[in-house]
Amino acid sequence: MATHIHILGISGSLRRGSFNTALLRNAQAMLPEGASLEIADLSGIPLFNQDDEHAPPEAVVALKAKIAGADALLFAVPEYNHSIPGVLKNAIDWASRPVADQPFSGKPAAVMGAGGRFGTARAQLHFRQIAACLNMLLLPKPELMIPSAQQKFDADGALTDPEAREQLKALVDALVAWARKLR
């Protein structure tokens, strides 16, 4: 029997109607056999202050534990001003400290995104730089960039575009295979 893979999904948007959080919810519904996906909640993470890196707030401790316990990470990254949102960078900065105790190193991960004219391509490139800095093992391909997201989801957040659904399924399957390969 294949090893169970538990994925932690992290969305860079706190928006109620977020397409990126919706993307993670759609991924939850198309997981292959032997995989689970939990979506992290970044809404309680305060602004990073290095004074507190050795005694971080409870929400950060909880997030770090979830990252450490996951077999793989799946980031859903909106594009804000050609980069990743501050909400996501802030959470990553907290979790990355102190360096000796950062849970990203060696962690299989994948990135995807929905929204905007180029489907978050520029934000994902920035995200790849950050992931490399933290020694995440980021899946090189397939890539998933969903432009014009408002036309690809219904009012309930279901991804209705057949091509995007196929691409999301391919990414999720590849991440699970990647995590099993790297165990």
Query: What is the binding site for ligand FMN (CB under 6 A)?
Result: 13, 15, 18-20, 78-82, 115-118, 149
Q: Which is nearer to ligand FMN, 71 or 79 (CB)?
A: 79
Q: Which is nearer to ligand FMN, 18 or 26 (CB)?
A: 18
Q: Which is nearer to ligand FMN, 123 or 176 (CB)?
A: 123
- Sign of the CA dihedral 142, 161, 28, 14? positive
Name, in order, each residue with C-beta under 8 angstroms of 7's C-beta and a sequence gap of 6 or more.
31, 35, 36, 37, 38, 70, 71, 72, 73, 74, 175, 176, 179
Q: How far is the CB of 9 from ligand FMN (least distance, A)?
A: 13
How far is Cα 169 from Cα 181, in angstroms, rounded to an integer?
A: 18
Token pair recorded at residue 10: 């992290």
Report the length, in residues, of the chain: 183
Q: How far is the CB of 133 from ligand FMN (least distance, A)?
A: 22
Q: How far is the CB of 129 from ligand FMN (least distance, A)?
A: 16
Q: How far is the CB of 12 from ligand FMN (least distance, A)?
A: 7
Residue nearest to ligand FMN (CB): 116
Q: How far is the CB of 120 from ligand FMN (least distance, A)?
A: 7
How far is Cα 55 from Cα 98, in angstroms, rounded to an integer?
A: 10
Q: Which is nearer to ligand FMN, 22 or 136 (CB)?
A: 22
Q: Which is nearer to ligand FMN, 18 or 96 (CB)?
A: 18
CA angle 6, 8, 11 (to 5 degrees): 155
